[in-house]
Amino acid sequence: MNDLLPSPEICDRARAARDARFDGLFFTAVKSTGIYCRPICPAPTPKPENIRYFANAAAASAAGFRPCLRCRPELSPNAMQHRYADEWVNRSLALIAEGEFLEGSVATLAKKIGLSTRQVGRLFQRNLGASPIAVHTNRRLLLAKQLLTETSMPMTEVALASGFKSIRRFNAAFIEGCALAPSAIRRLQTPVTSGRLSLRLAYRPPFDFALMLAFLAKRAIPGIEKITASSYERVAGPINQTCLIRVTRDAKKPELHLEIANADPRMIPDLVLRTRRLFDLDADLQVVHAGLQSSELLRLGIERRPGLRVPGCWDGFEVAVRAVIGQQISVAGATTITARLVAQFGAIRTDAKGELDRAFPTADVLALASLEGLGLTKARMNTLRALAQAAADGAIHFQAGQKADDFEQKICLIPGIGPWTAQYVAMRALRQPDAFLAGDLVLQQVLGGDARLSEREAAALSQAWRPWRAYAVMHLWHLSSDDKNLEKSHVV
């Protein structure tokens, strides 16, 4: 576990400077107070002999420390997933984040990743310093603490949103983990000025929010998304219980603001998770950039766009459909056809207000849909229906935590889907940081300069950038748009 910590000297300097780039990468526990803090905590500096450093909040909690009320560790960007050399740990953390323990157990988690329960426990203790259940419990308590502090949600709704099925269990767990009753935290609540629930989502700088919005805006789906130069809006949730989210950037702090309207409390963890993944808020760009420095071309890309991140997606099936539609056509053309698809086959949200009143077509609907008249070739229509049928049958799914190779093998069994589409979906839907589209013509051209590389040559060159090749893809695509002599990308 200590291998994941920066050196004590770096931790000392980052803490003294309150450097936001290290937020979530380590936590400072103070033995004299029993509290653990973020590196950016404004509290007075503790005596060196009283300090312990932990690689994650769950480990600090498992060691008996409680979260600081001042710097609020619940706001830290997550630094756990994709941080470990052990693939099983990364996959397990992804499943826990998606709510595996709300209904399942360590045994079901172990079965999904292909290990024994005992092996999973040992891996977590060795890599994280906490058990899988402790990681899950810590996540729930920190979310509850944020909801108690930032919203006026009733206590029963906070308990539901945090995954507790009874107030009694919620109170007991909160006192055990925070040494305070939930009601005591509620008294520290920030005044709520809006009827919408509003949450703060922190990230480690740099982050080019405008660049991310520009990427998403070109691919926005009418009736579902609305994107401006400063905000992202979307309808989500069941067709008969529509909620609306709006994401903006804080002008002074490295945080986004997530506003949520009309959501069932039990939807909140999922809405937060999807938003964080959509905007790649948990990225540690210091580590990413260090892994790409071997390439002069990528160093140029980082110099021009130091805050560039990998855009995620709201829904895996949605982005997979979009990827198929966008094969070998322009972004604008794919957006137009996707809009037609939603207009014809997307259900109308009768409880929605305003222009955002559609749901993306379900796999069941598209599997049987007549897609003529949308502007698709016959082969592309067949591929879309086959993709939808595979998703409806459960032959493929888009849940994070699955092995990238297994996903690619399964989705490439669908006629019309090859490695390019599989890697694009893995990059945006599965949040695979090492996804690489070696067959992409634009990447081959940018990498080759005067002579375009072959797919094999591009893949070989990319090995030096592992495990952050998805970030290399984004930088190379943007570099292609800088060169007016290059052919415009058809990236979907």
Q: Which residues are catalytic?
A: 37, 440
Q: How far apart are the first and last CA of the chain?
A: 39
DSSP state of 362: P
What backbone phi and psi angles, to 5 degrees, belong to 75?
Answer: -90, -10
Residue 42 CA: distances (Å) to CA of 15, 20, 150, 161, 452: 10, 12, 19, 29, 52
H/E stretch holding 455 = helix 455-462
87 burial level (CB within 10 Å; 0-12, 13-18, 19+): exposed
The residue count for the chain: 492
R_g of the chain computed on alpha carbons: 23
**SS3 (DSSP) at 438:** coil
β 231-236/243-249 pair status: antiparallel
CA separation for the pair 192, 169 (Å, rounded): 27
CA gap 378, 346 in Å, rounded? 21
Distance CA 28, CA 39 (A): 7
Beta bridge partners of 227: 232
Burial 459-469 (b: 16+ CB within 10 A, else e): bebbeebebbb
Nearest one of 216, 198, 171 to 261, comparing CA atoms: 198
Are the CB atoms for 78 and 119 separated by under 8 Å?
A: no
Host H or E run for residue 255 = strand 255-261
